[in-house]
A and B are shown apart, each in its own frame.
Chain A
Amino acid sequence: MATVDSRERGTAVAPQHDRPKGGVVDWLTTTDHKKIGILYLVSAVGFFLFSGLLSLVIRAELAAPGLQIVGHQEYNELFTMHGTGMVFFFVVPTAIGLGNYFVPLQIGAPDVAYPRLNAFTYWLYIAGGLITFSGFLTAGGAAAVGWTGYAPLSSNTFSPGAGVDLWIVGLLLSGVSGILGAINFMATIFGMRVPGMTMFRMPIFCWNILVTSGLILFTFPVLSAAFAMLYIDRQIGGFFFDPSAGGDPILWQHLFWFFGHPEVYIMILPFFGVVTEIIPVFSRKPVFGYSGFVFATLLIGGYSLSVWAHHMFTTGAVNNPFFAATSMIIAVPTGVKFFNWIATMWRGKISMQTPMLFSVGFLFMFLIGGITGVFLASPPIDYHVHDTYYVVAHFHYVLFGGSVFAIFAAFYYWIPKISGRLMNEGLGKLHFWLLIIGFNMTFFPMHVLGLNGMNRRIADYSSASGFQPLNILATAGAGILALAVTVFLINFFVSMRKGEPAGDDPWGGYSLEWATTSPPPPHNFHRIPPVHSERPVFDDRANRGGAGAGGGPRGPGSG
């Protein structure tokens, strides 16, 4: 098949050339998926840093019994906004940002299907984030109802004040943004793949963004409806969730978790995709069991809609055995992925540069988070550990050990494509080791604390409880985490100014983003190699022959 020139494909592309490049107005009005992707990523990292600062205050407060730094109200605001910020304004938008930048590149498209809608979703997201966090500026403070906002605590009776209203409205906007973004991704993936790229030649990252988009489309409307109902209860005299007027607080939990558990997969599937891109390239082998990966992702996506009530085992209001069964079964496709990742590395030639290092960190940490998840799927064990620090440990192993490690892997892997400069490997390795040590120091002790009776969301614990030593360890670990993130930021800013030029393809990549320049031109490609397999750039390199036809990572420190 002949090379395809993107300019001949007649897809509508916003007229970038009318505008001054790189100015403020350009960034505010851009419809280029790459610039929108960068806006998403920068904003998401901003929310990550802010929500991370909130967690440092939480850790400082918990280092000793008694209230030293903040009061009860402030503490409750801190953990509410930490969770809200990380889930809604960091992890999901990071996935959307990476998807925005790389899905069109990986499928050989000049942009997403609806570029203006794409810009709109970004501005909705940023407005939602700012509105949610603006609660801190109100007299009553930010929302202090937990990120789960359980009714009737979140009602006007028990949580008056504008903080909760701002929280609801901000999350509604971000929910709508997510729905529109999901439609855009699906239309792009279904409609704009370059000729030759069948669905089963598409990079796994795109598959995972597709399944994630499907989950968003199924669940965000439910969340948005729940928030609208809560808003009606608070402001227009409704009583959906008010038991004193015949409403049902358990209904809120159903609606919230019907969104909330698929949300966990919305936050991890894109990053399963990321490590599934990185591990084959750095093992110099194709991904093992491509169809198995796709099948497992589809299974996880489908099953994730049927497990929500394992968050409600202790309510006495749900069928525990049913939800225990579905929740345990969903561990199976995740297990399949682990074996496929291992088989991809098996008998490969593994280079441990930063993207691979963080991916390996992801494998180990997510393994622990996945295993503790099976404990939580067992109702009798959940009767003990539900709403304790064991759960806090579990979801940080999934979301930090899993998603955040993979996010950093993605940054080291793809920032060279976005910026044209490689990140510094030495600082990257320092970042990794600080991160994994700090992470385990912070969160591993929480398993033990939870098992021994430390309940979550408490501003204080008694000195007689014996919880202090492990809390000190966790707080010290959080300090190391802060240091690790600082090293990353230094690395980023130094590398963007002085980093080694990346070239088109610093890692010996497989997918189409490596066939264009770094950074790519406005319409993404001057030439797209023919697509005959799921590794078009690998095939292209082999066809062109020459020394090192198989490619392999070139970046700094590759010897």
Chain B
Amino acid sequence: MSTKQRLILAAACVAAMLSACVPEPADVQGASVERLYTIFFIVAAVVFALVAGLITWSLVRYRAKPGDELPEQFDRNLKLELTWFAIPLATVVVLFVLSAGVLGEVNAESPDPSVIVNVEGYQWGWRFTYEGSGVEVIGDADDRPEIVLPVGRPLTFTLDSADVVHSFWVPRFLIKRDMVPGQQNSLSLTISDAGVYRGVCTEFCGLLHSKMNFVLRAVPPAQFESWLEEQRTIDGDG
């Protein structure tokens, strides 16, 4: 085992970390999360490079050789120790302040959402009710539900559960919220990009947890209105 191998290992780790980004956000709130993640990532990369570099340097530079004398037995340096207490402290304080700012943005509730969808999770499916229009989309593990929502409009999901704890997550939104029985949660966001997105339950909820999925189709507002009208007609006929 050589120092070269260890350097290669460290380089590989850094390269692999660089490939680890969040997916492109499809909503306004997700874009804030992405910016925060990027800042964290840069700080993390610097910290990793610094600490891993110091460890690697020590191992390379201070390797014992046959016939070595005992090295100098120093064991303290208060100034140095206070310094390396202060630097991480300052770093996390900055990261905390940044996080708290973004937290306020992504937690903000839309004062006047143009669409409110009541989402109820159950083992192992979803019931989506569009408030005001009475349109309901239901589906489960065998029959994945597909909902449609408008781009560029403030949306609010109210989240509830009929049985155990579930969690509502569209990975491309970069935010999730739990659905807790007996507790009304909500999630407000504005979709920025049209597209078809995968939604999943992210809180383990029993036997068919892995199949508790849904599809979210984000379309221009006009198209959404006509979809909603269509659904209302179907529901009315049924």
A residues at B contact (CB < 8 Å): 72-73, 76, 144-146, 150, 152-153, 158-159, 243-244, 248-250, 283-292, 314-317, 320-321, 324-325, 328-329, 331-332, 335-336, 338-343, 345-352, 357, 360, 363-364, 367-368, 371-372, 374-375, 378-381, 383-384, 386-388, 429, 433, 436, 440, 444, 447-448, 451-453, 455-461, 465, 549-550, 552, 559
Q: When chains A and B are docked, how far (Å) is the Cα of A288 from the Cα of B32?
A: 42
Shortest Cβ distance from residue A298 to the other chain B in the assembled complex, whole angstroms: 14
Shortest Cβ distance from residue A436 to the other chain B in the assembled complex, whole angstroms: 8
Pair A152/B181 contact, Cβ less than 8 Å: yes
Pair B20/A451 contact, Cβ less than 8 Å: yes
Q: When chains A and B are docked, how far (Å) is the Cα of A378 from the Cα of B44?
A: 13
Shortest Cβ distance from residue A112 to the other chain B in the assembled complex, whole angstroms: 30
Q: When chains A and B are docked, how far (Å) is the Cα of A255 from the Cα of B186?
A: 24
> Could you name 6 residue pairs across A and B whose Cβ atoms are closer than 8 Å?
A72-B210, A150-B165, A249-B182, A285-B74, A380-B103, A384-B171
Q: When chains A and B are docked, how far (Å) is the Cα of A479 from the Cα of B11?
A: 24
- Top 9 A-B pairs, shortest CB-CB distance: A453-B171, A243-B182, A550-B70, A458-B210, A335-B88, A349-B64, A345-B58, A378-B99, A328-B92
Greatest chain B CB density within 10 A among A244, A346, A384, A386 is at A384
Q: When chains A and B are docked, how far (Å) is the Cα of A286 from the Cα of B54?
A: 19
B residues at A contact (CB < 8 Å): 1, 9-10, 13, 16-17, 19-23, 30, 32-33, 36-37, 40, 44, 47-48, 51-52, 54-55, 58-59, 62-66, 68-77, 80-81, 84-85, 87-89, 92, 95-96, 99-100, 102-103, 106-107, 123, 163-165, 167, 169, 171-172, 174-178, 180-183, 185-186, 198, 200-211
**Given known A345-B59, A349-B68, contact A383–B106 (CB-CB < 8 A):** yes
Pair A433/B80 contact, Cβ less than 8 Å: no
Q: When chains A and B are docked, how far (Å) is the Cα of A452 from the Cα of B103?
A: 21
Q: When chains A and B are docked, how far (Å) is the Cα of A363 from the Cα of B163?
A: 44
- Other 15 A-B pairs with CB < 8 A, given A368-B13, A455-B201: A243-B181, A250-B180, A286-B73, A292-B76, A315-B185, A328-B96, A332-B88, A335-B88, A349-B68, A352-B1, A352-B59, A371-B47, A380-B175, A451-B20, A465-B198
Q: When chains A and B are docked, how far (Å) is the Cα of A332 from the Cα of B47?
A: 12
Q: When chains A and B are docked, how far (Å) is the Cα of A144 from the Cα of B203?
A: 14
CB contacts (< 8 Å) of A347 on chain B: these are 62, 71-72, 74
**Given known A72-B207, A72-B208, contact A451–B21 (CB-CB < 8 A):** yes
Pair B44/A375 contact, Cβ less than 8 Å: yes
CB contacts (< 8 Å) of A459 on chain B: these are 209-210
Shortest Cβ distance from residue B224 to the other chain A in the assembled complex, whole angstroms: 24
Pair A350/B59 contact, Cβ less than 8 Å: yes
Pair B178/A364 contact, Cβ less than 8 Å: no
Pair A350/B64 contact, Cβ less than 8 Å: yes
Pair B207/A153 contact, Cβ less than 8 Å: no
Pair A381/B33 contact, Cβ less than 8 Å: yes
**Given known A285-B73, A455-B202, contact A331–B88 (CB-CB < 8 A):** yes
Q: When chains A and B are docked, how far (Å) is the Cα of A360 from the Cα of B6?
A: 11
Contact of A360 among B48, B59, B202 (CB under 8 A): B59
Q: When chains A and B are docked, how far (Å) is the Cα of A250 from the Cα of B184?
A: 13
Pair B185/A380 contact, Cβ less than 8 Å: no
Pair A374/B204 contact, Cβ less than 8 Å: no
Greatest chain A CB density within 10 A among B22, B165, B204, B211 is at B204
Pair B99/A379 contact, Cβ less than 8 Å: yes
Q: When chains A and B are docked, how far (Å) is the Cα of A315 from the Cα of B181?
A: 11
Pair B58/A315 contact, Cβ less than 8 Å: no
CB contacts (< 8 Å) of A458 on chain B: these are 209-210
Pair A158/B164 contact, Cβ less than 8 Å: yes
Q: When chains A and B are docked, how far (Å) is the Cα of A368 from the Cα of B49?
A: 11
Pair B180/A381 contact, Cβ less than 8 Å: no
Pair A249/B1 contact, Cβ less than 8 Å: no
Instruction: Give the residue name and chain of the A residue nearest to B48 (CB).
Output: A371
CB contacts (< 8 Å) of A150 on chain B: these are 164-165, 203-204
**Given known A152-B163, A316-B180, A374-B40, contact A324–B62 (CB-CB < 8 A):** no
Pair B176/A364 contact, Cβ less than 8 Å: no
Q: When chains A and B are docked, how far (Å) is the Cα of A457 from the Cα of B203?
A: 8
**Given known A292-B81, A367-B48, contact A332–B103 (CB-CB < 8 A):** no
CB contacts (< 8 Å) of A152 on chain B: these are 163-165, 181
Q: When chains A and B are docked, how far (Å) is the Cα of A321 from the Cα of B103?
A: 8
Pair A338/B1 contact, Cβ less than 8 Å: no
CB contacts (< 8 Å) of A159 on chain B: these are 206
Contact of A388 among B80, B202, B206 (CB under 8 A): B202
CB contacts (< 8 Å) of A386 on chain B: these are 167, 176, 202
Pair A378/B85 contact, Cβ less than 8 Å: no
**Given known A348-B71, A351-B64, A384-B33, contact A250–B40 (CB-CB < 8 A):** no
Q: When chains A and B are docked, how far (Å) is the Cα of A345 from the Cα of B76?
A: 13
CB contacts (< 8 Å) of A339 on chain B: these are 81, 84
Pair B13/A286 contact, Cβ less than 8 Å: no
CB contacts (< 8 Å) of A348 on chain B: these are 58, 62, 71
Pair B62/A345 contact, Cβ less than 8 Å: yes
Instruction: Give the residue name and chain of the A residue nearest to B34 (CB).
Output: A384
**Given known A72-B210, A243-B181, A451-B23, contact A381–B37 (CB-CB < 8 A):** yes
Shortest Cβ distance from residue A39 to the other chain B in the assembled complex, whole angstroms: 34
Pair B92/A380 contact, Cβ less than 8 Å: no
